[in-house]
Structure 1
């Protein structure tokens, strides 16, 4: 149980880092959760900026592919190995190559397999965890609320680390995330 808790904590930190990395280092695309990209697709269509549609559609498609892949892999070890390989590949792509589309596709795929396999608490997005935290507080289940609060804290910590490391190491900063895997 302690090993699983530690794994979820590391994955939450990685989730926060990756979302910040994709946003700050790779053209302001949301790679973890696809809500932002779907909204940006709608905005691009409404503003007749059709060249941007593909930019936001690619990570959404990669996310779907990642979910399908995770359903096949099943094993946590296979998921973590796949994540490590994808992180290694992500850091080798220089910024600006194809407007960072390939990098965002890899991150979206990676986050999808993580999200599908490690479901509760969510480690790549915050909204569901915030909802459950609120419910647990309302029901005075403070231990459970603390679990979700801890995941949210680690996600935020990951975003802070993502900003700092990306500022100094650029695209290669994602290689740091291989260590906790």
Structure 2
């Protein structure tokens, strides 16, 4: 088994499982209540932008530039802020980001159903991008906490390795395979729970994600201010 003592709290598997479950919830929220789109990634928006340009629908093309730009801005900001934050505050950027996401969720729950869906879409695009760019490896394994495409691919890869190593003693692939399987399961659970919650509570359902966010925030604050205070300058793996 791999020695996990050198990993920061923000790299723990449990944190990634929690964040991808929240991402699944966000997927249900934006699709059911905010324009039938998925805001956790931008491949779809880029395809729609290309279609609009190809059909000379310039207003439509301009529309898709907003979520793409919001996603790009999230990556830009989350790349610049980590060092200034850890040198000027007593907490890490990862901790501050969770607080920012909670504040965004709190505001989104106040947005009325009659408001333009673009408000919620752009906000989710922005925080999803920052989260994706910030949380990169779970205890040494590259991970995405906002969408499941790569995890599904890795489940297939792991299954192939299971067959290849069927008669061999080397089963090291199973730990990584298991992580990706869990990421897919937690994402799906987030979607299911989000669907039920949105059907019951409508737009305010997003406030439910404040609870898992709060658990992560308290955990991070405790580590930053106590257990990991001497590791404040240590970068998470993958950065």
TM exceeds 0.5? yes
Corresponding position of 1:70: 78
Deviations 1:69-107 (A, max 9, x none): 211332210111111111111111112423x11110000
Alignment CA distance shift 1:55-1:158 (3 Å): farther
> TM-score, length-normalised on structure 1?
0.91
Measure, in 1, the Cα distance between the counterparts of 2:42 and 2:97.
Answer: 20
> TM-score, length-normalised on structure 2?
0.70
Report how far residue 24 of structure 1 moved: 1.3
Measure, in 2, the Cα distance between the counterparts of 1:41 and 1:94.
Answer: 28
Measure, in 2, the Cα distance between the counterparts of 1:164 and 1:54.
Answer: 34
| Matched-pair contact (CA < 8 Å) for 1:32–1:125 | yes
Unaligned segments of structure 1, at least 5 residues: none
Measure, in 2, the Cα distance between the counterparts of 1:155 and 1:104.
Answer: 19
Greater Rg, structure 1 or structure 2?
Answer: 2
Measure, in 1, the Cα distance between the counterparts of 2:61 and 2:115.
Answer: 18
Deviations 1:30-76 (A, max 9, x none): 21000011112222333444433333221111001111121133221
| Matched-pair contact (CA < 8 Å) for 1:23–1:29 | yes
Measure, in 2, the Cα distance between the counterparts of 1:139 and 1:115.
Answer: 27
| Matched-pair contact (CA < 8 Å) for 1:22–1:104 | yes
Corresponding position of 1:93: 111
Aligned to 2:38, which of 30, 36, 56?
A: 30
1:84 aligns with 2:91: no
Quick check: 143-152 or 86-95, which moved more?
Answer: 86-95
Corresponding position of 1:107: 124
More helix by share: 1
Measure, in 2, the Cα distance between the counterparts of 1:6 and 1:172.
Answer: 26
Map 1:34-49 to 2 at 5 A: 34-49=42-57
Corresponding position of 1:144: 176
Measure, in 1, the Cα distance between the counterparts of 2:112 and 2:16.
Answer: 30
Measure, in 2, the Cα distance between the counterparts of 1:76 and 1:96.
Answer: 33
1:121 aligns with 2:129: no
Corresponding position of 2:13: 5
Alignment CA distance shift 1:26-1:55 (3 Å): farther
1:174 aligns with 2:192: no
Corresponding position of 1:131: 153
